[in-house]
Amino acid sequence: MIPEIEKATSEEIKAFQEDKLKELLKYVNENSPYYRRVFRNYKIHPSDINSIEDLAKLPVTTKEDLQQYNDDFFCVPKSKIIDFVTTSGTLGEPVTVGLTDKDLDRLAYNEAISFACAGVQEEDILQLTTTMDRRFMAGLAYFLGVRKLGAGIIRVGAGIPELQWDSILKFKPTYLIVVPSFLLKLIQYAEANTIDINSSGIKGAICIGESLRNQDFSLNILAKKIKAKWDIELYSTYASTEMSTAFTECSEQQGGHQHPELIIVEILDEDNQPVSDGEEGELVITTLGVEAMPLLRFKTGDIVAGHTDSCNCGRNTLRLGPLVGRKKQMIKYKGTTLYPPAMDNLLNDFTEVKGHVVEIYHNEIGTDEILIKIFAPKASDRLLSKIRDHFRSKLRVSPAIEICSREEIQKLQSSKLGRKPVGVIDKR
């Protein structure tokens, strides 16, 4: 199930997307109160935009725009909305996104071709270890995608290693859909209960929420730790509610492939100018084929690098590298620019650290400070200085570290919607 357009040349893909873009502009001009207003205010007519480059004539859409004018983004009456979801609201107020019947079909298609990209086939059974409710789009997308692909799914939901293993042993799934750090918990449980993980029949994991790779696509510490114990393939995925589209890795595991029929991608610098290939910038997306809430030049706030050279899998679509960080969580610390994921990656190096939260705040003089709160049952001065040295050598910074109890860390990590644990607390 590989759409033909993915193997087309980059010129063909561009022309294809430009046709879709024209349809989209016509559609939002007729149906979106928000974009109609933007076109009027900027004196833009949809027919002024004929190429991907012409997109630069349009202003970008920010998360704040979405929050402030949420209802004006809807192109259909509420009665046409089937599924109501919200963004997680990790950075500000959650935004409501609605999906029509057609949008649910699009979501199913998106996820089916994403699974197919990672090599999932009709014969496969996938075990879903994330939540499907809580106004969460991804869980539903996985279910719909599996159904469309004709594969099987076991909806276990989040947590409970015992139930996960019971299901793995009972139903013999071939893939897990999982937050990578949860794989470590599954390994731990299996080891404590003498379950032979490598004969469990699991071939691979479709991973969400955390990076598996460094920017050069080599495995990061978390992924190495998993692979050292469990010989399975790890596929990164990247998606968001606003995009309603996933970028999933293929067999080559060199970044998540773009689906040209579903999304247009720009990667822009601070001045909203495109960065060169392979450079880091903010991901800006334009959705294609969305009926209820299409977005034009939406700034995701995510810093990534794009790779346009053709992939060994035969696809010529753009690939997105691992998430460098959230733009809003960029930290300027003693002359160094860094993002929380790099710190997570380092902390994962210490098996003694059983949980951590990164706090960012402004000090008296208004510059960024970092406080890392960790739970380590066997904390010692030696461990703390080992962690500090590691930070100094890898990131050239040495943030403050505070030892906390398990309960304190758990409390800090618990989010309002309870989807995934909070790793960063930004008080700036």
Q: Which is nearer to Zn ion, 18 or 252 (CB)?
A: 252
- Closest approach, Cβ 6 to Zn ion, in A, equals 9
Q: How far is the CB of 250 from Zn ion (least distance, A)?
A: 3
Q: Which is nearer to Zn ion, 119 or 157 (CB)?
A: 119
**Shortest approach of Zn ion to residue 145 CB, angstroms?**
18
Report yes or no: 301 and 327 within 8 Å, Cβ to Cβ.
Answer: yes
Q: State which residue, 255 or 399, has the beta carbon closest to Zn ion.
A: 255
Number of other residues whose CB lies within 10 A of the CB of residue 164: 24
Closest CA to 255 of 311, 181, 204: 311
Determine, following the binding rule CB under 5 A, whether residue 252 of this chain makes contact with Zn ion: yes
Is 197 among the residues that bind Zn ion (CB under 5 A)? no
- Select the span of 167-175, 208-216, 247-255, 263-271 touching Zn ion (CB under 5 A): 247-255
Q: How far is the CB of 110 from Zn ion (least distance, A)?
A: 17
Write down the least CB distance from residue 321 to Zn ion, Å.
Answer: 13
Sole window of 246-254, 259-267, 376-384, 403-411 interacting with Zn ion (rule: CB under 5 A): 246-254
Q: Which is nearer to Zn ion, 313 or 409 (CB)?
A: 313
For residue 315, the minimal CB distance to Zn ion (Å) is 5
Near Zn ion by CB under 5 A, which window of 25-33, 171-179, 199-207, 250-258? 250-258
Nearer to Zn ion, 299 or 315 (CB): 315
Least distance in Å: CB of 260 to Zn ion?
Answer: 14
Instruction: Write down the least CB distance from residue 319 to Zn ion, Å.
Output: 7
User: Which of 65, 111 has the CB closer to Zn ion?
Assistant: 111
Contact residue for Zn ion among 104, 284, 313, 376 (CB under 5 A): 313
Measured distance CA(385)–CA(66) in Å, rounded? 44
Indicate the pairing of strand 325-326 with strand 298-307.
antiparallel
Query: Binding string to Zn ion for residues 61 to 90, with x set by CB under 5 A, is what?
Result: ------------------------------
| Sequence-distant (≥ 6) Cβ neighbours of residue 291 within 8 angstroms | 75, 76, 80, 100, 102, 103, 106
**Distant-in-sequence contacts of 351-355, Cβ < 8 A, 24+ apart:** 352/376, 352/377, 352/378, 352/379, 352/383, 353/387, 354/406, 355/406, 355/409, 355/410, 355/413
User: Rule CB under 5 A: is residue 408 a binding residue for Zn ion?
Assistant: no
Q: Does 346 sit near Zn ion (CB under 5 A)?
A: no
Q: How far is the CB of 313 from Zn ion (least distance, A)?
A: 3
Measured from the CB atom, is 310 or 415 closer to Zn ion? 310
Segment near Zn ion (CB under 5 A), from 174-182, 242-250, 301-309, 395-403? Answer: 242-250
**Does 311 sit near Zn ion (CB under 5 A)?**
yes
Tell me the window of 181-189, 313-321, 411-419, 420-428 that interacts with Zn ion (CB under 5 A): 313-321
Least separation in angstroms between residue 128's CB and Zn ion is 24
- Contact call for residue 118 and Zn ion (CB under 5 A): no
- Residue 183 or 318: the one with the smaller Cβ distance to Zn ion is 318
User: How many chain residues bind Zn ion (CB under 5 A)?
Assistant: 5
The residue from 55, 187, 250, 318 that contacts Zn ion (CB under 5 A) is 250
Rule CB under 5 A: which residues touch Zn ion?
250, 252, 311, 313, 315
